[in-house]
Structure 1
Amino acid sequence: MKRKIISTANIALAVSIILTGCSKNFFDRPPGAAVTVGSYYQTADQLLASTNAFYGTPWFGWNNKAGWALTEISSGNLRTWSSDVSPFGTMPVSSDNPEVRTLWNSPFTVVAQCNGLINNLSAANTSAIPQAAVNNALGEAHLMRGVAYFYLVRTFGNVPLIENPLANVNDFQTVPTNSIPDVYKFIVRDLKYAEANCYPDVAGTGHGSSGSASAMLAKVYLYMQDYDSARIEAEKVINSNEFSLLPNYGDLFITNNNNNKESILAMQWISTGGYDYGNSIQASWAYSSAITQTGDGYGSAAPTIDLQDAFKAEGDTIRRHFSIMLPGESYPELDVNNGGYTLPLNASSQGTQAQCKKYVIGAPTDPNNSKGGTASQAGGNNTYIMRYADVLLIEAEAILGQQVHPSIGTGIPLTASTSDATALKYLNMVRTRAGVTALTSFTYQQLLNERRLEFALEQNYWFDLGRIDGFKATTTSNGIQSAPHPMAEAIIANQERGTYGNAYPDKSVIYSSKVTLKDADFYSLIPSTETASDSKLLEAPVPYNFTW
């Protein structure tokens, strides 16, 4: 795939994408409606619709396979025999791997979309549009650019910061990366702009709100070990009352509940647009076409023994049921026309006697899909970028971080504990919803386990593992970045990533598989297609020139 934002051809593409918009089918869904360049900036509604592209098809590559391959397979939550993504289970993954290219290309396509609007809108005549609407559109662009860079920096470390691709037309082959601290500074700047300019209380429409920006800021600050700022931002979100936990955990993953009260920010999909426009996770994860009834459902990844054991050890049956299917377990909401779906006793597509349930939504005729639909490799269900349970757990962790006060670059010890009433309140809100016992104190290890179970298969755990040893500015040598990750490496080394040797229900024989990672493995290699055309990407990062 050609470069998305740095090469001359794709600089032009980045501009043309914004001018022409995405396929009309993408806009035939809330929020907004299709518009052309001639009518982009005539009314507030049309301006609002111009931000739709930030949430949909540019994220497709990430969501389709690359994102969950990195975050769920690398973290030990999923295993697979599929040759294209199985290297993510052992690391490192070759810079020639097509999914590594997608990890780079997809977020940078989002960056290009956001830059296009920011730069075009600054030159447009918007005198007929209320200034608040203009500010909101710019706020959404800054929000989603910051989100895209948050994915990039956690995946690759040093990356190029691009605000105006036209500035690189003459030097696209010599664009350097910028340091991790500068990338985080850039993200914070974008999110603060969004917090100040996005409309409040609109996340339920599928657009990011000022509260969405505050929530993302809380998470970014947590990664930076700025616990004071993380807590301030989390409490802004909590006190705003824009978001709340859904009473029933399983309701979070029903297509008809897209953009619910717990959804802070989400990738937005449409089933009628087909491949590239719909959510394709079900096609890969569903055990069989008996679930999807659209010809797909390949069971190409399945929960590891380790993740199953983690749910079992916690006595966590509710979140487990809606995350992991076990043989013989029934789901009345799937295959409703035939009385529900029961996972066969011999279901074990990856040898772990379990299959994925989360993001597996069923057939086009199932009632839970009546609003968003589903089709072959294209579901109408959103993919969460962030939800309110995360804010509550960030608040709890920030309080623990304030108490322990580890030096920057050194993580909170796994044995560190707190009985702070506020931290317990928010942690236990998440646990109570899941039907597990409320705690009277908790350790950092327990909090991390809570995050793993709450967000299992939601593309979080790998990034959690990458940050628990502290915020570090890594060094670069021959394109390989490394920083100490002793706690994360120890957790991963103890995971059981193997298979059962006998058929269900016999679990007495395990063909064990354990993984030992190196510090450098926590950042992906920059794709070889990028470094071949720009060798500066392999050199030490340079400071970024912050002009505003």
Structure 2
Amino acid sequence: MSIKKITAFVLILACMSCEDYLEILPEGQENTENYFNSQSDYEDALVGVYDLLSTTYLHNLLGEIASDNSLCGGESPTDVLDWQQIDDMTHTPDNGALRSVFQFMYAGISRANYIVEFQDKTDFEGKDQILAENLFLRSYYYFELVKFFGDVPLYTESRISIEGSQSIDRTPKAEVYAQLEADLQTAIDNLPWQQGQSGRATKGAALALLGKIYLYQDKFEEAAITLDQVINSGQYQLVEDFGTIFLNSNENNIESVFEIQYFGGEGGGFDCFQCVEGNIAVGFMGPRFTGGNFSPFTSGFSFNPPTEELYNAYTTNDERRDATILNMDEFVAERPDVTFNLGNTIDYTGYYNKKYIPYAEANSGDVNLTHSNNYRAIRYSDVLLMAAEAFNRGGIDDTKARNYVNLVRVRAGLDEIQTSGANLTQDIYSERRLELAGEGHRFFDQVRTGQTNSIPNFSPKNVLFPIPRIEIELAGNRWEQNAGY
């Protein structure tokens, strides 16, 4: 069964209410006495948990827009106002994009908890792996919530209900992280290094996520040991040509540790983004082409344009620059017949995110919402740089840290570095920015490492986003708001 396809059962589970994530699994709607009685029932339910990964397209956009890597863009300064507010750091607890993040991630958690709730009902060969994949996915969703909001309510035993939300407080993020560490250790023990189906969680993906969670807590020794297991496994390597990594023809390549699968053959619409099987972010980030031959690309909505400062941060011999950023002046110079709409002229920079640019393809439905570009959620180069940071900042082994950084630099066509100590730390931060630009990691890297001075309009409260006001109200006003909001 394809991970991208939602079965009839999953559609029942979803109930896809756009009004309240707590209603996604209404109590009593599914007769559990007649479900979870076979291996296929558990597999179908797991497909439903995987399906919510598609909504993390929003994290890719916001992780760049909130940072110093890009501006919001769009057609005008009020186009998708929720994103504009995050770009300007004027967002409030009523921001709709932040509520979507909160809703979508808890929808995934609730689906995962449905399996946990009935994990002991039926035994069959291979169940431990299904449960391990489920724990990985729940950990992934919780980690995203902690990145955005800090302390969050921790539900682990059953589906989320309104009554449940009104009887649980926000859990300190240290306790959430402790739960994720335990869950991922269990998952690691029961996951294979390779799966027969692209996009499914593996031992390497679980180790990489665990290492990242350690790094976010400055647990450098644990992070170094964990990430080294991924590196020493021999399962991954850097793709030789950086310019090919993000091509649709090179998905699930040897550098992909965890990749979210998207499908362009099933339509959707603006009235229900979570119903779309395509990568929504891609269509939003493309240039607004209006004429001429702009193949192999197609038109988009001009959001998330990289800044000139980011473009200039690359040296001219860095092979990553032109594979990461589309320079429109150079593109039009080569194709003088091409015309395009600048969109929001205030935010027009002359650059677009080339990693996730919309390609012309035989997609269906609204063509701007159904692009099949997979999201490379965790790449091997990210693992190398996280490991380098752990070895360096933990004072463990600068030589090993430097070697990991140089693997990434040499692939980019650059000379090796020879720094150590605090200078090496800054080099690692710089390499993370240049290597991962456009992939949604920048803002959270800046916050966790204290590099927020370069973010326009940033204030101390912006290290976290506000808990959506309506979610606090639905929880009976028992949850405190993040400071400053």
Alignment of 1:324-473 (within 5 A): 324-330=325-331, 350-364=347-361, 375-403=367-395, 420-441=398-419, 443-468=424-449
Instruction: Work out whether residues 326 and 343 of structure 1, in 8 Å CA contact, stay in contact via their aligned partners in 2.
Output: no
**Relative contact order, higher structure (CA 8 A, sep 6+):** 2
Given that residues 160 and 177 in structure 1 are in contact (C-alpha distance below 8 angstroms), is that contact kept between their aligned partners in structure 2? yes
d(CA) in 1 for partners of 2:31, 2:277? 17
Q: Deviation per CA, 1:474-517, whole angstroms, max 9, x where unpaired?
A: xxxxxxxxxxxxx423233xxxxxxxxxxxxxxxxxxxxxx242
Provide the TM-score with structure 1 as the length reference. Answer: 0.73
Residue 490 of structure 1 is aligned with which of 453, 462, 483? 453
Q: Which amino acid aligns with 2:470?
A: T
Q: Secondary structure at the match of 1:302?
A: coil
* Structure 1 residues 295 and 377: alpha-carbon distance in aligned structure 2, compared to 1, 3 A threshold: farther
1:251 Cα deviation from its structure 2 partner: 1.8
Q: Secondary structure at the match of 1:122?
A: coil
User: Is residue 2:53 matched to residue 1:59?
Assistant: yes
* 1:190 alignment partner in structure 2: 183
Q: Which runs of 5+ in 1 are unaligned?
A: 20-36, 332-338, 405-417, 469-486, 493-514, 542-548
Give the Å deviation of 1:142. 0.5
Residue 231 in structure 1 maps to residue 224 in structure 2: yes
Alignment of 1:81-92 (within 5 A): 81=77, 82=79, 83-92=81-90
Which blocks of at least 5 consecutive residues in structure 2 are unaligned? 1-17, 269-275
2:466 and 2:482 in contact (8 A); partners too: no
Contact 1:279 1:378 in 2 (8 A): yes
Partner Cα separation in structure 1 for residue 188 and residue 225 of structure 2: 13
TM superposition shift of 1:265: 1.3
* Secondary structure at 1:384 match in 2: strand
Query: Does the alignment pair 1:148 with 2:141?
Result: yes
- Cα deviation, residue 364, structure 1: 0.8
Compute the displacement of 1:90 (Å).
Answer: 2.3
Summarize deviations over 1:206-252 as a string: whole Å, max 9, x none. 10111211111111111111111111111111111112111111222
Relative distance call for 1:293 and 1:327 in structure 2 (3 A) is closer
Q: Secondary structure at the match of 2:328?
A: coil
Instruction: Output the CA distance in 1 between the equivalents of 2:104 and 2:44.
Output: 21
Q: In 2, distance between residues paired with 1:325 and 1:239? A: 35
RMSD: 3.2
> In 1, are the aligned partners of 2:25 and 2:160 still within 8 Å (CA)?
no
Task: Tell me if the contact between 2:66 and 2:86 (Cα under 8 Å) persists in the aligned partners.
Answer: yes
Matches within 5 A, 1:270-309: 270-275=263-268, 276-289=276-289, 296-309=299-312
Q: For 2:351 and 2:176, how far apart are their aligned partners in 1?
A: 39
Question: Does structure 1 retain, via aligned residues, the 8 Å contact 2:117–2:159?
Answer: no
Q: Which moved more, 1:133-142 or 1:112-121?
A: 112-121
C-alpha displacement of 1:347? 5.7
Instruction: Give the Cα–Cα distance (whole angstroms) in 2 for the partners of residues 18 and 519 of structure 1.
Output: 48
Q: How big is the shift at 1:361?
A: 4.0
Asked whether the equivalents of residues 96 and 528 of structure 1 are also in contact (C-alpha less than 8 Å), the reply is yes
Aligned with 2:102 (options 101, 104, 114): 104
CA distance in 2, matches of 1:49, 1:256: 28
Matched letter for residue 449 of structure 1: S
Q: Distance between the aligned counterparts of 2:296 and 2:256, measured in 1?
A: 28
Question: What displacement does 1:176 show?
Answer: 1.1
Aligned partners of 1:266, 1:466: CA distance in 2, in Å? Answer: 24
> Which of 460, 467, 479 is equivalent to 1:537?
479
- Change in 2 beyond 3 A, CA 1:18/1:85: farther
Q: Partner amino acid for 1:98?
A: G
> SS where residue 266 of structure 1 aligns?
strand
